[in-house]
Amino acid sequence: MSEPTKPAAPAGRAATKKELPDHFKGYKHVWVFVEQERGQVHPVSWELMGAGRQLADKLKVDLAAVVIGPDGEATRQAAAEAFCYGADLAYVVADNLLADYRNESYTKALTDVVNTYKPEILLLGATTLGRDLAGSVATTLLTGLTADCTALDVDADGSLAATRPTFGGSLMCTIYTLNYRPQMATVRPRVMQMPERVQRDTGRIVTHPLGLVEDDIVTKVLSFLPDRDSAKSNLAFADVVVAGGLGLGSPENFQLVRHLASVLGAEYGCSRPLVQKGWVTSDRQIGQTGKTIRPKLYIAAGISGAIQHRVGVEGADLIVAINTDKNAPIFDFAHVGIITDAIRLLPALTEAFRARLSPHSRDRIAS
Amino acid sequence: MHIVVCIKQVPDSAQIRVHPVTNTIMRQGVPTIINPYDLFALEAALELRDKFGGEVTVLTMGPPSAEDSLRKALTFGADRAVLLTDRFFAGADTLATSYALATAIRKIGETYGVPDIILTGKQTIDGDTAQVGPGIAKRLGLLQLTYVAKISALDLAGGTIEAERRSEGGVQMLRTKLPCLISMLEATNEIRRGAMVDALRAARATIVKWSAQDAGVEDISKCGLRGSPTIVKRVFAPSPRAEKAVLIDFSSQPPAEALIAEVFKRQPKLEAELVALARGF
C-alpha cells in the first residue's frame, strides 16, 4: 500500500512567527548609504533619503546618513548635504584609502558601522556600486536583502515591507526580513521621488575609523577612465522619451523610434526583449532592469507593457501607448492609447510633429 | 587552471503569461533557458581555458530538470557539469543560495582541483538581484570583481588578474589576486557555436549530481527556505489604474493628428517646450 500523500510542511514559514531574537532588539533607526564616487554624490542617495524619512517618521525613529569616502572636502560636503535632504544625523567613515570604491574596504567600513551602531533598516541605491556593496555586506551580516524595490513601507508591527517585481517582472511581491537585522533593501535610481532640498545646518556627525592600511586591501585600482559626456545617455532625466518594443517587428524599424525622438528633441529607449535580441544597446533599456524614467511625455510604440516595463515608466506625467493589441497590458496604465500599427503610425507622427513644431508654425502656437 | 562557472536555468521570461482571471503565473509549458547573462560568463571562461589551458566546470543548483541547461553548457565546450539538487535547497533566497553554492564550490575544489576563478553572469533574468555572486565570494573569502567588461590580463604564476570593471561614471582598471570571483557584464563577448565533437560528448556525458549531503553541507538549516532570512509574504498582480487609457478615435481625422491634438490638450504647456527643445536640435 502506498503511503498517504501529505501536503509538504511549510517548514521555513513556521519560523516567521517567532519573535525577533533578543540580540536584535536593540537595532533601531533607519539608515541610508550615501553613495559618492569621485567627489559626486549619486542622486539616488537623496531619493532614498526621501523614502527613508517617511519610514523613520512612521517608526518614530531617526534617519541617519552613512557617508563613506576619502578624508576631505567632498566627504564633508556629502555629510552636510545629507542634513538638507532630511537626515537627523550622519555616520562618517573618512579615510584616503576610500578614495576609490573597492569592495573590500567599503564592505569593512559599512559592516563595522552597522555592527557598532545597529540600524533596523539600511537602504542603498541599486547602482553598480550599491549592488556590489549590498550583496557583500548582507552576506557578512547574514541578514536579508531585497533588491530593486519599487515601494517601501512599514507594517503595523514595524517590519519593513519591501515590494519588488518578481518572476521576470510579471508579478509584484512583498518581501519581509522578519528575524534578522538590519532589514536591507536596494532601490534603483529615479524610482523614488527626489525630495525637496531644504537648507539646514549640519547636525550631529559620528565619525568611525576605517581601521585598514593599504597593504590590507588586496585589490588595487590601476586607473579610472571616466565616461565621455557624449557617451552618456540622458534617458533617465529626459523630459520626452520615445521607446519601441517587439511590435516594431524588426531591428530596422527601430529607426522609426529614433526619428520621432530626434524631431521631438527626445531621448529614445526600448523594452527589455529588444536588448536581449541585440537590436538596441542595454543603456537604452527602460524598465525594472533598465532605466527608470520620469518624463513629461512618454510614447511607447509596440510595447506590450509587462510589469517589468511598467515599473520603469509609471512616473511619467503622460503615457501614450501605440499598439495593435487592444488587450495589451500597456493600456491599463497608459493615459492615452491608440490601437494601430506603430510601424505605420510612427512615420506619420514624426511628420505631423515636425510640421507642428517647426518655427514656421509658431503663429499657431501663439494664437 | 580551473574555472567554475555558475549558471542558472530560468523560465524564458518572454514566454511568461499571467492568467487574466486568477492573476497567477501560468508556468505550464514555459520553456526554460540558461540565464542569458550567464552565457557571457561561460564564454569568458572558455576563452581563458583556450588561452591558458585547464578545465571549465559548470555548476547549477536547481530541480533535476536543470540537467538540461548543464548539458547545453557542455555542448558549448565546458569540461564538466555539476548539478546541486535536493529538496532541502527549495525555496532558498539569495543568502541561502550563496551558502549552498559556496559549499558545492568547496567540494568541487576538493574533488577536481581548487578553482582559480569563479565566473557568474551579472544577474539572472528571473530574480534580477545580482546578489548571489557577491554572496558566494564573501562566503568563500574570495575577492570579487563585479560588472567586468573585460579580463585584460591573467598571470597564473604570479596569481594575479587584471580586469576592467564598469562603475557608475566610468571604467575602473583593477588588479587583484587569485582566486577570485568575477561577474561578467552583458554583451562583452558572444557565446560560441559548440563544436560537433562537444555536442557528441555532451550527449553522453555524465552530469555529476550532488545532494546537500554529497556537496558537504554541514548545516541543513542554512539551506532552502529555512536558511532564508527573507520571506515572500505576498505575490500579486499590480492593480490597473482606476481609469484605463483613453483610446483615440481617428475615424474623422488622420491618427497622427488626432493623437497630437490629445497630447497637447492634456499637456498644454508641452507644445511650447517642445518647440524650444526641437530648435535645440
What's A111's domain CATH number? 3.40.50.620
Distance from CA of B274 to the nearest CA of A (A): 6
pTM of the predicted structure, to 2 decimals: 0.87
Which of A118-122, A228-232, A299-303, B267-271 is predicted least confidently?
A228-232
Nearest to A210 by CA among A288, A107, A293: A107
Residues of A in contact with B238 (CB under 8 A): 172, 307, 310
Distance CA B166, CA B173 (A): 9
* Chain B CB within 8 Å of residue A153 CB: no
CB contact under 8 A, B267 and A16: no
- The C-alpha cell at B280 is 535645440
User: Is the bond preceding A43 in cis, omega lying within 30 degrees of 0?
Assistant: no
Question: Which residue's entry shows cell 589576486?
Answer: B177
For residue A9, being part of any structural domain is answered with no
In B48-67, the residues whose Cβ lies within 8 Å of chain A are: none
Query: A297: which chain B residues are within 8 Å (Cβ-Cβ)?
Result: 263, 267, 270
CA–CA dist B176, B211 (Å, integer): 33
Beta bridge mates, B160: B155, B177
A212 with A249, same domain: the answer is: no
Residue of A nearest to B147 (CA): A128
pLDDT score for B151: 97
Q: A276 pLDDT exceeds 90?
A: no
Q: Which three cell numbers stand for residue B278?
A: 526641437
Q: Where does a domain end: A216, A245, A261? A: A216
Inter-chain contact A276–B257, Cβ cutoff 8 Å? no
Same structural domain, A163 and A237: no
pLDDT higher at A61 or B18: A61
Domain B2-227, architecture per CATH = 3-Layer(aba) Sandwich (3.40)
Domain finish residue from A162, A189, A216: A216
B21 to chain A, any CB pair closer than 8 A? The answer is no
Residue A323 lies in a domain: yes
Asked if B68 and B34 touch (Cβ cutoff 8 Å), the reply is: no
* Last residue in a domain, options A182, A216, A250: A216
Assess whether A29 and A114 both reside in one domain. yes
Rg (CA), chain A: 24
Confidence of residue A344 (pLDDT cuts 50, 70, 90): very high
Summarize pLDDT for B25-69 with one digit per residue, the tens.
666 778 899 999 999 999 999 999 999 999 999 999 999 999 999
Predicted pLDDT at B186:
87
The answer to whether A100 faces chain B, any CB pair under 8 Å, is: yes
Report yes or no: A146 at the B interface, CB cutoff 8 Å.
Answer: yes
Where are the domains positioned within chain B?
2-227, 240-281
Residue A7: inside a domain: no
CB A351 to CB B254 under 8 A? no
Q: Are strands A183-187 and A63-69 parallel, antiparallel or unpaired?
A: unpaired
| List of E strands, A103-245 | 121-125, 145-146, 151-154, 160-166, 171-177, 183-187, 204-207, 220-226, 240-244
State the nearest Cα–Cα gap between B265 and chain A, in angstroms.
11
Measured between beta carbons, which residues in chain A are less than 8 angstroms from residue B36? 276
Are A195 and A51 contained in the same domain? yes
Task: Looking at the structure, tell me whether residues A239 and A184 fall in a common domain.
Answer: no
Is the pLDDT assigned to residue A1 strictly greater than 60? no
Q: Is the model's pLDDT at A365 over the cut of 60?
A: no
Q: Best interface-test mutation with B: which of A180, A233, A344, A357 has the largest number of B CBs within 10 A?
A: A357
Which residues in chain A are closer than 8 Å to B270, comparing Cβ atoms? 296-297, 318
pLDDT at A366 over 90: no
> Which of the residues B239, B259, B279, B281 would you substitute to probe the A interface, choosing the one with the greatest number of A C-beta atoms within 10 Å?
B259
A176 and A266 together in one domain? no
Res. A3 pLDDT band, cuts 50 70 90:
very low
Q: Are A101 and A247 within one domain?
A: no
Is A226 inside any structural domain? no
Residues A54 and A89 grouped into a single domain: yes
Check whether residue A39 and residue A131 sit in a common domain: yes
Residues of B in contact with A310 (CB under 8 A): 238
Instruction: Assess contact for A295 and A239: CB atoms under 8 A.
Output: yes
CA R_g for chain B: 24
Residue A116 confidence (pLDDT):
98
Decide if pLDDT at A361 tops 80.
no
ipTM of the shown complex: 0.89
**Which chain A residues are within 8 Å of B230, Cβ to Cβ?**
144-146, 175-177
Range(s) of the domain holding residue A315: 231-366
Range name among A73-87, A168-182, A228-242, B119-133 with the lowest pLDDT average:
A228-242
CATH of the domain at A346: 3.40.50.1220
User: Which residue, A256, A263, A265, is CA-closest to A295?
Assistant: A265
Total domains, chain A: 2
